[in-house]
Amino acid sequence: MAHPQRIEQHYRARFDESGVDGLMRSSSYLRYAQEMAWVHSELLGLDRAWYEQHQLTWVVRSLQLEVIAPIVHGQTFTVSTEVVGWRRALSRRRTELCGQDGSVAARVLIDWVGLGPSGRPVRIPDEIVAMLSDSGAATFEPIRAALPPAPPDATSHEVTVRSRDIDPMAHVNNATYLDFVEEGLAAAGGTVDLRRVPRRYRLEYVTAAELGDRLTGTAWRDGSFWAYRLNGGQRDSLRASLEVGATP
């Protein structure tokens, strides 16, 4: 039986996922990318029950989001997704959100890592690789968010993880971290840049934050880009950057 290696679905931008300017929040693009990954997997019979039975799970290791054009509340758009690369325990998925004219409004690359029963990375089973991609899927270099040390005048803010931030994996959802990032950058004076297009975010997830955790976010401008670090005390939970005017 042929397996759909690329799928697409139509959506309408909802009121609750839009900001005060009526535009879709940056984190909403990531939520659609995550949802479509599950839709694709379930179409192949790889639902949560299958993963539980095989003691395998996926978590986001890092991602890149390019916002090329805004999506407005009420706008209809199409979301497509496909796996475009493999690297031992890693899988790279590309998701695109396109307007009604077919132009790309946002593009998301997510590097997912497969975890075994011990919580450590494991090589992805060949049967999954065969289902989700063809022989053309290439290897890749994982996305990184390399940051310089924060300057003394960097802006800090406190984050407390609440129940609304937690997903079925019992830790902070990957899209919610981008909300933390944007809150920190806005506090540091980056409000205007957070609305510019095109813009490109890179997020690298280091350690998972859980319910009740108290974190410190630090944001600063470093030359041509914004930098953000979320720290849980002993080590980073997240490193992120934002470039404005970045092109694919």
pLDDT at position 106 is 98
**Same-domain status, 194 and 107:** no
Instruction: Please give the pLDDT value at position 246.
Output: 56
Report the C-alpha dihedral over residues 116, 65, 204, 93, rounded to 10 degrees. Answer: 20
- Counting the structural domains of the chain, the total is 2
Query: Do 11 and 106 fall into the same domain?
Result: yes
Residue 5 has a pLDDT of 86
Domain match, 159 and 235 both: yes
* Statement to judge: residues 25 and 97 lie in one domain: yes
Q: What's the confidence (pLDDT) of residue 211? A: 96
How much is the pLDDT for 206?
A: 96
Contact 56, 62 (CB under 8 A): no
Bridge partners for 94 per DSSP: 82, 109
Amino acid letter, residue 164? R
Range of the domain at 211: 155-244
Residue 219 resides in a domain: yes
* Contact present, 10 and 77 (Cβ < 8 Å): yes
> Is-contact 202 241, C-beta < 8 A?
yes
Structure tokens at 227: 């930098």
Q: Report DSSP state, residue 32.
A: H
Q: Choose one of 132, 166, 185: the last residue of a domain.
A: 132
Q: What size, in residues, is the chain?
A: 248
Select from 132, 164, 183 the last residue of a domain: 132
191 domain residue, yes or no:
yes
Do 168 and 122 share a domain, yes or no?
no
Same-domain check for residues 52 and 99: yes
Which residues of the chain are modeled with pLDDT < 50?
1, 248
* Residue tagged 């944007």 (tokens): 182
137 within some domain: no
Q: What is the pLDDT of residue 235?
A: 85
Distance between CA 168 and CA 185 in Å, rounded?
28
Same domain, 21 and 108: yes
Instruction: Out of 80, 101, 132, pick the residue that ends a domain.
Output: 132
Whether residue 95 contacts residue 32, with contact meaning beta carbons closer than 8 Å, is answered with yes
* 125 and 35 inside one domain: yes
CA-wise closest residue to 112 among 136, 140, 135: 140
pTM of this prediction exceeds 0.85: yes
Both 95 and 182 in one domain: the answer is no
Residues 19 and 70 in one domain: yes
CATH of residue 166's domain is 3.10.129.10
